[in-house]
Amino acid sequence: MANIKTFLGCSLALGLGLGLGFVGGSQFTKNPSSTKNFQSASSLRGIVSSTDSYAPAVKASQGAVVNVFSEKTKVRQKNIDLFFEDLLGGEEFFPMNRAEKSLGSGVLISADGYILTNSHVVNGADKVFVALADGKEIQAQLVGIDPKTDLALLKIKGNNFPFLTFADSDAAQIGDVVLAIGNPFGIGQTVTIGIVSAKKRENLGILDYEDFIQTDAAINPGNSGGALINSKGNLIGINTAIYSKSGGYQGIGFSVPANLAQKIAQELKENGKISRAYLGVAVLGLHEEMTPVTAYYLKKGYEEGALIIKVEADSPAFKAGMKAGSLITKVNNTQITVPEQLFKVVSQTPVNNSLQIEAEVLDLESGKITKDLYSVKPVIQ
């Protein structure tokens, strides 16, 4: 059975439903049990911090974590639903427009009302509302979204709001205690505890740009956009997705790291959008789809890289002479193993900087593969 990579927003139609997405990935297998070289749990207790309560960190943080409600109108297609309208007695029972609501969480990051949440919570919404910790509801302005990192920035009117301070997520260590705060299933603000299980999780196929903190703190649908804080109460990440077979918590959650979230929030605040370097190629992993070209590379022993399947006319890649069928293996001395890495390297390229791209070039007529180097200056989009 395939695992499910699940965004953590909740949607409400007739009742509370779960928004599932992105099926894929390999099965996890349990390691064989062994008693060799393992200490008992009791002998490890002295290693664990003697902190009995994280209430001070939670008390300092939970006022800055809000509930986010978005609403959009879905227009039904009358030619498809006409039969059901007649059957049920007209538009009174089967209205042309239907309001769809979704809910998630958000984090106040400034005293003047800027809020970070996930883009999938608010993208396409006609209206967005924020419920503060004291129960007050305020309509929010959508400042900007960045689907590639699944982040969005909201603004509510007012001042002197409680807010979270960004921690240096790069300094976080595997094993650090973290707490997740959010609104799972819409039941109300909830706090769970875990540790940093891994860092720099990427190539999961969830987003275009992946650099996740992995945690085992329990997060569920409705936690989208909520806070992952450290033991000091500082923001270390924005909870975004889980890895699950059931759609619910199974011990593997992913958060956008605070350093990236802070950078995205600042650019959205200043420009309302995120500008990234653009190369002008469509790429594919060698194992994503079997084609004559991918089959040939695999036959020749190639396993990694980003295969160019299309070069857009007049794009930076086109002007540099790059062609479909070439396999990108390295950019600026960074080995490219999967297409997501190519996107990440290109998107981080400073304005006016050129990329040195190394590629294996397949001649379809002769079947020969040669190595080539391209100097490409991306444009900013």
| Backbone φ and ψ of 50, nearest 5° | -85, 5
Q: Name the burial class of residue 251, with classes exposed (0-12), middle (13-18) and buried (19+) by CB atoms within 10 angstroms of its CB.
A: middle
Dist CA 214 CA 251 (whole Å): 10
Per the CB < 8 A criterion, the answer to whether 118 and 9 are in contact is yes
Residues with active-site annotation: 120, 150, 224
Which of 125, 168, 165 has its CA nearest to residue 145? Answer: 125
Q: Give the predicted TM-score (pTM) of the model.
A: 0.72
Its CATH class, for the domain covering 277-380, is mainly beta
Q: For the domain covering 20-25+55-60+164-271, report its CATH number.
A: 2.40.10.10
Question: Could you tell me which residues are beta bridge partners of residue 101?
Answer: 12, 71
Residue spans per domain, the chain: 20-25+55-60+164-271, 64-155, 277-380
Taking phi first (over 0 means left), then psi (-120 to 50 degrees means alpha), and beta for anything else, what does residue 134 get? alpha
Say yes or no: do domains 20-25+55-60+164-271 and 64-155 share a fold. Answer: yes
| Backbone φ and ψ of 142, nearest 5° | -85, 110
Dist CA 255 CA 95 (whole Å): 39
Longest Cα–Cα distance of the chain, Å, equals 72
Dist CA 308 CA 284 (whole Å): 7
Q: How many other C-beta atoms are found inside a 10 Å radius of the C-beta of residue 123?
A: 16
The tens-digit pLDDT sequence of the chain (381 residues) is 344 444 555 543 323 333 333 222 333 222 333 333 334 433 444 444 556 799 999 999 999 999 999 888 766 555 544 444 444 445 554 455 666 677 899 999 999 999 999 999 999 899 999 999 888 999 999 999 999 999 999 999 999 999 999 999 999 999 999 999 999 988 889 999 999 999 988 878 788 778 899 999 999 888 999 999 999 999 999 999 998 887 778 899 999 999 999 999 999 999 999 988 889 999 999 998 889 999 999 999 999 999 999 999 999 999 999 999 999 999 998 999 988 889 888 887 877 789 999 999 998 788 899 999 999 998 887
CATH-assigned architecture of domain 64-155 = Beta Barrel (2.40)
What is the Rg, in whole angstroms, of the alpha carbon atoms belonging to the chain? 24
